[in-house]
Homo-oligomer: A and B are copies of this chain.
Amino acid sequence: MSGPTVHDVAKAAQVSLATVDRVLNNRGGVSSKAEAKVKAAVAQTGYVRNMAAANLSRRRVYRFCFVVPSGDTGFVALLQAALERERDRLVEEQILIQIIPTHAFDVAGQVAALRNLDCDAVAIMASEAPEIQEEVSRLRASGVRVVTLVADLPQSDREAYVGLDNVAAGRTAAEFMGRFLGDSGEILMIAGSLSSRDHNERLMGFRRVMQERFQHLTLLPAVEGNDDAQSVERLVSEASAARPLVGIYAIGAGNKGLVRAVQKADAKPVTIVHELTPTSRQGLRDGTIDLVLDQDTSAAVVAAVRIMRDLTEGRDLPADTGKIRLNIFSRENIQ
């Protein structure tokens, strides 16, 4: 009823079980002739290893860590929730998820967190600092598989990145901004931090499409909101007091402040923000926010786990691995 087993392979290859085992788990000490026979038998019988039995036998437990910024609002809260959901689901598949919270810009703390890991693979969302890249190298050297999550560390030894194509996200934002805005006018771009890679990539994509396709719109110099509602509110208020804004592209967190400022402004600018949180969802509903570009945290976590598993099992990763789709939410399709 269920597929062929190693016994069937051994029979088909006319060798002993031990030899099949040696080939399958390349333990060496097998003549090339025997190896060929076994491989042929595998192909012929259509044998696939029963992973459940294999893992059971070797008492294998996958231990994956997630080193991510903590917080109980906004994106990080969603990520946290997604992680906990997945953790509960994965226990019964013998996959143990450990969530290690850090502080968003605390490099030292992140390094410390990475230093004390004891697991097969780790997913990291951390600052792009040399100390952290070194830690990644150290982890890799000690046999831990490393993937980056949401924020990439492309210069590091990480083996995969799970998250958005941030340039494409910025380009998409610009496209919708341009198409929603018929007339000319000035657009405000607010990043969380101008020194973070992902925010910069979004800015870059946004700027480029604006320049390529919507030259009648004017981009104000990007400002830094520090992912903080109060700063964002002040920046938006000041900008729209100085001149009429037709559009706002908010790249980082702090949308609560953005919503407050937009509601007080005289004219309603086209507002595009990132991440579907309770705040931005409400903004969509009441019309303060026009579009939310979102990376699905659940999808990211699921993808990360899958990749970590593939890596620890020594499988090679499929081509499009880790690309998280950009979700676009408007008031008509918030779920």
| A→B interface (CB under 8 Å) | 1-3, 48-53, 55-56, 59, 61, 91-94, 165, 168-169, 171-172, 174-176, 179-180, 182, 205, 209, 296, 320, 323, 325-328, 330-333, 335
B171 to A333, Cβ gap below 8 A? Answer: yes
Indicate whether A332 sits within 8 Å of B172 (C-beta atoms), given known contacts A1-B61, A50-B56. Answer: yes
4 closest Cβ pairs, A-B complex: A52-B52, A171-B332, A328-B328, A172-B333
Indicate whether A52 sits within 8 Å of B53 (C-beta atoms), given known contacts A180-B179, A182-B182, A335-B165. Answer: yes
| Copies of this chain present | 2
A333 to B327, Cβ gap below 8 A? Answer: no
Cβ contact of A50, chosen from B48, B92, B326, cutoff 8 A = B92
A-side interface mostly: mixed
Residue of B nearest to A85 (CB): B318
A–B pairs, 19, beta carbons within 8 Å? A1-B61, A2-B59, A48-B91, A50-B56, A52-B52, A52-B55, A52-B56, A53-B56, A168-B332, A171-B332, A174-B332, A176-B330, A179-B179, A179-B180, A182-B182, A205-B332, A320-B335, A325-B327, A325-B335
Give every chain B residue within 8 A of A320 (Cβ-Cβ): 335
CA distance A179 to B178 in the complex (A): 11
A175 to B332, Cβ gap below 8 A? Answer: yes
Give every chain B residue within 8 A of A330 (Cβ-Cβ): 172, 175-176
CA distance A49 to B326 in the complex (A): 36
Give every chain B residue within 8 A of A50 (Cβ-Cβ): 56, 92, 94
Give every chain B residue within 8 A of A55 (Cβ-Cβ): 52
A92 to B175, Cβ gap below 8 A? Answer: no
Give every chain B residue within 8 A of A209 (Cβ-Cβ): 332
CA distance A61 to B50 in the complex (A): 11
Residue of B nearest to A61 (CB): B2
A2 to B94, Cβ gap below 8 A? Answer: yes
Give every chain B residue within 8 A of A93 (Cβ-Cβ): 51-52
A273 to chain B, nearest CB (A): 16
Add 13 more A-B contacts to A52-B93, A176-B330, A328-B333 (CB < 8 A).
Answer: A1-B59, A48-B91, A50-B92, A50-B94, A52-B56, A165-B335, A169-B333, A171-B332, A171-B333, A172-B332, A175-B331, A325-B335, A328-B328
